[in-house]
């Protein structure tokens, strides 16, 4: 039980880092939205999304997590596009 508590405390620490990183990422996403609007580019950039997914797989270096990371990252990017559209509306 002490081990479970300890492991969950470590997960809580990682969650804190993840949330901070995501807040930072979404702040940058909104700056990208402004820049794309200024240059007349669309919110959705499929080529860039492919590059991001490839980069995530490369950075992870753990093929067994590839499917999970791709799904998580696709959701992160889908929510980014929602935020961009709300921000620019």
Ligand X SMILES: C=C(O[C@@H]1C=C(C(=O)O)C=C[C@H]1O)C(=O)O
DSSP string, 22-54: HHHHHHHHHHHHHHHHHTT--S--HHHHHHHHH
Confirm or reject binding of residue 52 to ligand X (CB under 6 A). yes
Stretch that binds ligand X, among 3-11, 14-22, 60-68, 75-83 (CB under 6 A): 75-83
Q: Report the sign of the C-alpha dihedral through residues 34, 40, 43, 44, in that order.
A: negative
Stretch that binds ligand X, among 3-11, 15-23, 53-61, 79-87 (CB under 6 A): 79-87
Among 44, 55, 62, 66, binds ligand X (CB under 6 A): 44
């Amino acid at each position: 039980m002490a081990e479970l508590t300890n492991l969950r405390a470590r997960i809580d620490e990682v969650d804190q880092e993840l949330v901070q990183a995501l807040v930072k990422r979404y702040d940058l996403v909104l700056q990208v939205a402004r820049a794309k609007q200024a240059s007349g580019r669309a919110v959705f950039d499929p080529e860039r999304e492919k590059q991001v997914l490839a980069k995530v797989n490369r950075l992870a270096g753990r093929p067994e997590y590839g499917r999970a990371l791709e799904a998580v990252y696709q959701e992160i990017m889908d929510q980014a596009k929602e935020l961009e559209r709300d921000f620019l509306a």
